[in-house]
Amino acid sequence: MTNERWLRWAIQRHFRTQGYRVNMKGVRVGNSVIDGEAENGRDRIALEIKSGHDDVIRGIGQLSEALACGYSTAALVTSVRHAKRIKPNVFKNGLVLLGVDSKGNVTKLT
């Protein structure tokens, strides 16, 4: 069972090593609140973190709202095990599925 704190730590580390500024406080976008954002000079990425028991459909809706509000990419972050059960045809037009394994490595699954 993966908890949300572990996922937050792993995704922060991943984006910071790539040169992004990461804000993992709730960010209001339109009518929803996303879990965080990562940005560098040209890209703004909305981050929504879901553990095994969270509602993934709601997370995808929040990410769609973020894309409508000007983010270049929106990423759903979950464990690799949970991410493999999600159908990949949902993730297109700026939506990305990121999986975190037990060692904290982040993998782009779509």
The number of domains in the chain is 1
Range of the domain at 92: 4-108
Q: How would you class 64 by CB atoms within 10 Å of its CB: exposed for 0-12, middle for 13-18, buried for 19 or more?
A: middle
> Which two tokens mark 104?
């904290």
Residues 30-66 have pLDDT tens digits of 899 999 999 998 999 999 999 878 889 999 999 999 9
Stated pTM of the model: 0.91
CATH code for the domain in which residue 18 is found: 3.40.1350.60
Compute the residue count for the chain: 110
Look at residue 54 in the predicted model and tell me its pLDDT: 84
pLDDT digits (tens, 9 = 90+) for 69-105: 999 999 999 999 998 888 888 888 899 999 999 899 9
